[in-house]
Amino acid sequence: MNAKPKIVVLGAGYGGMMTARKLTQTLSPEEAEIVLVNKHNYHYESTWLHEVAAGTINHNQARIMLSDVFNPNRVRLIYDSVEEVKRDENRVILENSELTYDYLVISLGFVTNTFGIKGMEENAFFIQDIDSSQLIRDHIEYQFVKYKNSEEKNDDDLTILVGGSGFTGIEFVGELAEKVPELCKKYDIDRYKVKIINVEAAPRILPSFDEELVEYAKQSLESRGIEFRLGAKIQECKEDCFVVGDDHEEIKAGTIVWTGGVTGSPVLSNSGFELTKGKVTVDGDLRAPGEDNIFIIGDCAWVMNEKEGRPFPPTAQAATQHGITCAKNIKALLHNQPLENFVFDDKGTVASLGISDAMGTVYGKKLYGKSAATMKKVVDNRSLYMLGGMKFLLKKGKVRPF
């Protein structure tokens, strides 16, 4: 090991940001060198990507420059793409260079999972990061401009198809319900010509969520023009349609967005970790099995909920809490002290249904409508505060009026 141990954090999402911030707060500069590697020079709020994709917020609002959060004398920032971790050599291979570590935190987040559905990768848009979300926003507006200026108008060009009604799909169509009337006004197009269709394989939206809340969400969205096709498994995605169900019905659209699921970063498989559905099932202290000095957190990890015998769902809430435990455990390793097991403090789940509506549970209590929408903004603002402090809350916080 070096005289001063080197802690390398891969990925500046919720997990990586929180780990690096806590390390800077709890370790002195003499105790360790801290390196944060990220593809971009900014962190983005993944939980706001559906708003970027619909165009209801500007992409810059969802970004925080890393150099504004971290003192470069304290955290060395490297903007590069991680390709592989060579565990035997304590080395990380980046696209443009490489680096060694004494302690490693893999917090590279999620990528969209197409489950190998034919044509999905080639023909659908994904809500995966800032760039992919901006593409969706621009494509939707392009379809409006094209429609307005074409002589032979094809109403299918205005249809927006969203595959999957998990939280991402539902929050996205909620934002579209806000944005589409605005675009119709801007381009003088009849609102009824624009279809927003959400296609889900299960017989209900948000298959594993509270039935009463789900019914509320469905009715709210339907009243604002969202159509649902439930029990409709997407078999294929073509350039202009989803192919759905056993009878291979084609649902045509000008914009096709896949929100059918996520998995862990491909860096995990490139690095030879044993994977379950694309992620590593970590030990209670968040280390990769059999690894003394490698932590895997956030959407790259399955953290077991021992009470229920299955992993906790991958969320920003969990990733942030992983970061706190991970930083504590690295400090414990540096001081030869015992590590602690991660304990999830579940504060609840709130899903937005547009600007002024939402639903969810907070500390076990069900919330609907404006109170849920207010709570959602509180959660979003709290996240900004925790990652970047008061400066970012004031600069980027959500104050959209209802």
Kindly list the catalytic residues.
Answer: 171
Near ligand FAD in 150-209, by CB under 6 A:
168, 171
Instruction: Please report whether residue 56 would count as binding ligand NAD according to CB under 6 A.
Output: no
Q: Where are the alpha helices (DSSP H) in 130-271?
A: 130-149, 167-187, 211-223, 267-270
Q: Which does 163 bind (CB under 5 to 8 A by kind): ligand FAD, ligand NAD, none?
A: ligand NAD
Q: How far apart are CA 149 and CA 144, in angstroms?
A: 9
Near ligand FAD in 50-69, by CB under 6 A:
50
Q: How far apart are CA 245 and CA 40, in angstroms?
A: 39
Please write down the long-range contacts of 343-347, taking CB distance under 8 Å and 24 or more positions apart: 344/303, 344/305, 344/312, 344/318, 345/321, 346/317, 347/317
Instruction: Give 278 or 298: the residue with its C-beta nearer to ligand FAD.
Output: 298
In the complex, minimum distance from the CB of residue 234 to ligand NAD, in angstroms, rounded to a whole number: 4
Instruction: Please report whether residue 314 would count as binding ligand FAD according to CB under 6 A.
Output: yes
Instruction: Please report whether residue 201 would count as binding ligand NAD according to CB under 6 A.
Output: yes
Q: Per DSSP, what are the bridge partners of residue 5?
A: none
Among 45, 178, 200, 357, the residue binding ligand NAD under the rule CB under 6 A is: 200
Instruction: Please report whether residue 254 would count as binding ligand NAD according to CB under 6 A.
Output: no
Whether 257 contacts 164, CB under 8 Å: no
Instruction: Please report whether residue 245 would count as binding ligand NAD according to CB under 6 A.
Output: no
Instruction: Please report whether residue 14 would count as binding ligand FAD according to CB under 6 A.
Output: yes
**What amino acid is encoded at 325 in this protein?**
T
Contact string (CB under 6 A) for ligand NAD, positions 315-334, x = contact: x-------------------
Question: Which DSSP symbol is given to 191?
Answer: G
The values of phi and psi at residue 34, to 5°, are -115, 130
Give the chain's length.
402
Among 198, 265, 349, 383, the residue binding ligand NAD under the rule CB under 6 A is: 349
Near ligand FAD in 107-126, by CB under 6 A:
107-110
